[in-house]
Chain A
Amino acid sequence: MIWFLFLGDMLVMAFMAALAVWALWGSSDKAVDQAAGIPLNDERRDG
């Protein structure tokens, strides 16, 4: 059981490490800024 838990923990860590690497290097600053700005320009009111 100890090995099962250790393996599970390592899989979680590997997933999170891969995710962090992807989030930091896999996306351009422009794309990230564009996504972050979505709520600030999302409606047009009737005049």
Chain B
Amino acid sequence: MKLNGEQYHDRVTAWLTGFAIFWSLLGMASGVYVAAELVWPTIDFGHEWLSYGRLRNLHTNTVIFGFGISALMATAFYSVQRTCHVPLFAPRLAWFCALGWQAGMLGGGISLLAGWNGGKEYAELEWPFDIAIAVIWISFAIVFFGTIAKRRIQPIYVSNWFYGALIIVVAMLHIVNSLAIPVTWSKSYSLFAGTQDAVVQWWYGHNAVGFLLTGGFLGMLYYFLPKHADRPIWSYRLSIIAFWAFTYSYIWAGPHHLHYNAVPEWVQSLGMVMSLVLLAPSWATLVNGVMTVAGAWEKLRTDPALKFIVLSLAFYGLATFEGPMMAIKSVNVVSHFTDWTIGHVHSGALGWNALITFGTFYFLLPRLVGAELYSTRLANWHFWLALAGVMLYVLAMWGAGVSQGLLWLSLDEIGELSYSFKDIMASMKPYYALRMVAGFTFFAGAVLMAFNLWMTAKGRRIVCIAPPPPVREGA
């Protein structure tokens, strides 16, 4: 029986999940290739499109925007309908949003390989793509907030606050940071210059990390963790406090990317202090997540999806502790411009973002097609490969980064550098080789997941699911 013939629109979620898996494989493969280029620099074979400078941008754009955003759109569309007890608002616009995003990522990826580049990290795509992204993002906002506006239950569940913040803040960051004067179809110049450009860029860059890679995925956590564990979030009040503390603090933290640069001292200090303040909301969420699972530990033995989510929580705690520590200026003097930063980013991106998304996909796809997961054994293999990959990666980059930082700071008795840049880089080869192996291990696990989920969904149709009946007042 269906409620007024209404059904949730889940086909768009299923397609977005498939696209996200495709981008994750492409992004990780290009990441492993650029890691190999740092070990064997000649394997670009003289082709510009295989060069580190172009493939590295393809890697970051496909994993963050292709994989990450597709996964966030999929889970936002899935959860907002259910937490509002209504089907999606404007489902055709949701399809435009989903398919438009894929077209933009495909065109954007090709443009990066062709050498179009705006020169801003994590905002490399040129102005035609910036405009397309803004249009698609606004359509995402209309579908999401339209669904919330027509909800049948009064409370707006906490996951929707995080997804909502993702949509609003990323729109603001993207539009302001992309303001530019186009000179040709493939080239534009930023409206900002010099130090102002750097401040705007890292206001964008760090908050893209904050509201996309942290806030957006916290939306995923707050919906899918209670679903997995089959129990409500441990403290709903704490989740609301964590949301507002997170939103209020994160927006100021960007200047820690500009320590010891030509920005005013007080701006750097403000960035450092607000980064330290961020520890409170981050760990409030960590505590809330761990306590939610606390009564369901036995499920970890049988549910591979929950394993991924619990492990992602551990890496979330690690990365959100390490980040504020690295923002302290006396620590940053060692870590800045070293591979420690790359290790930190990947403990968050692989350990937190990718693992929670994998766990969510293992939960989501079988439910969407009404089937059991094709192979729990393969999912367990994936879990161990992912854990080995991320641990090896982080340890290699910590070793490389701390070595680089300390060697660069080392002076001889007459105050000159003890080691040349060339010597230090030559000593990095074992760490870079280990990073390549780690990346390949993580990628191999993702290939297993793609095969497992493909076999789960193969030949099946999306199950029809309806909202629950309305609750009558006083009932």
Q: Which residues of A contact B (CB under 8 A)?
A: 1, 5, 8-9, 12, 15-16, 19-20, 23-24, 27, 31-47
Q: Which residues of B contact A (CB under 8 A)?
A: 1-3, 8, 79, 82-83, 85, 153, 155, 157-159, 223, 226-227, 230-233, 236-237, 240-241, 244-245, 248-249, 266, 269-270, 273, 277, 370, 463-469
Question: Which A residues are in CB contact (< 8 Å) with B270?
Answer: 5, 8
Distance between B465 CB and nearest chain A CB, rounded to angstroms: 5
15 more CB-based (< 8 A) A-B contacts, given A12-B277, A16-B244, A36-B232: A5-B266, A5-B269, A19-B240, A19-B245, A35-B155, A38-B83, A38-B153, A39-B157, A39-B223, A40-B227, A41-B468, A42-B85, A42-B468, A43-B468, A46-B466
- Taking a contact as CB atoms under 8 Å apart, the answer to whether B230 and A44 are in contact is no
Complex Cα distance A20/B240, Å?
9
Complex Cα distance A16/B244, Å?
8
In-complex Cβ contact of B241 among A19, A36, A42, A46 (8 A):
A19
- Taking a contact as CB atoms under 8 Å apart, the answer to whether B465 and A39 are in contact is no
Knowing A43-B8, A44-B466, say if A35 contacts B248 (CB, 8 Å): no
Please name the residue on chain A nearest to B159 by beta carbon.
Answer: A39
Question: Which B residues are in CB contact (< 8 Å) with A32?
Answer: 236-237
Please name the residue on chain A nearest to B1 by beta carbon.
Answer: A47
- Taking a contact as CB atoms under 8 Å apart, the answer to whether A43 and B465 are in contact is yes
- Taking a contact as CB atoms under 8 Å apart, the answer to whether A39 and B226 are in contact is yes
Question: Which B residues are in CB contact (< 8 Å) with A31?
Answer: 155
Complex Cα distance A45/B463, Å?
8
- Taking a contact as CB atoms under 8 Å apart, the answer to whether B155 and A1 are in contact is no
Question: Which A residues are in CB contact (< 8 Å) with B467?
Answer: 42-44
Question: Which B residues are in CB contact (< 8 Å) with A38?
Answer: 83, 153, 155, 157
- Taking a contact as CB atoms under 8 Å apart, the answer to whether B8 and A23 are in contact is no
Please name the residue on chain A nearest to B249 by beta carbon.
Answer: A12
Question: Which A residues are in CB contact (< 8 Å) with B223?
Answer: 39
In-complex Cβ contact of A42 among B82, B240, B248 (8 A):
B82
Question: Which B residues are in CB contact (< 8 Å) with A1?
Answer: 266
Please name the residue on chain B nearest to A42 by beta carbon.
Answer: B82
Question: Which A residues are in CB contact (< 8 Å) with B233?
Answer: 36
Please name the residue on chain A nearest to B225 by beta carbon.
Answer: A39
- Taking a contact as CB atoms under 8 Å apart, the answer to whether B237 and A27 are in contact is yes
Q: Which 5 A-B pairs have the closest CB atoms?
A: A42-B82, A36-B236, A35-B155, A36-B232, A38-B157
Complex Cα distance A47/B266, Å?
63
- Taking a contact as CB atoms under 8 Å apart, the answer to whether B236 and A42 are in contact is no
Question: Which B residues are in CB contact (< 8 Å) with A46?
Answer: 1-2, 463-466
Residue in A1, A19, A44 with the greatest tally of chain B CB atoms within 10 Å: A44
Complex Cα distance A20/B273, Å?
21
In-complex Cβ contact of A44 among B3, B226, B248 (8 A):
B3
Complex Cα distance A23/B248, Å?
16
21 contacts between A and B (CB under 8 A): A1-B266, A5-B266, A12-B248, A12-B249, A16-B248, A23-B241, A24-B237, A35-B158, A35-B236, A37-B232, A39-B79, A39-B159, A39-B223, A39-B226, A40-B226, A40-B232, A41-B468, A43-B467, A44-B465, A44-B469, A46-B2
Residue in B236, B249, B269, B463 with the greatest tally of chain A CB atoms within 10 Å: B236
Question: Which B residues are in CB contact (< 8 Å) with A8?
Answer: 270
Knowing A1-B266, A9-B273, say if A23 contacts B155 (CB, 8 Å): no
Question: Which A residues are in CB contact (< 8 Å) with B466?
Answer: 43-46
Please name the residue on chain A nearest to B269 by beta carbon.
Answer: A5
Please name the residue on chain A nearest to B237 by beta carbon.
Answer: A23
Distance between B141 CB and nearest chain A CB, rounded to angstroms: 22
Knowing A5-B269, A9-B273, A38-B83, say if A44 contacts B468 (CB, 8 Å): yes
Distance between B230 CB and nearest chain A CB, rounded to angstroms: 7
Please name the residue on chain B nearest to A9 by beta carbon.
Answer: B273
Complex Cα distance A37/B269, Å?
41
Complex Cα distance A42/B232, Å?
13
- Taking a contact as CB atoms under 8 Å apart, the answer to whether A35 and B273 are in contact is no
Question: Which A residues are in CB contact (< 8 Å) with B277?
Answer: 12
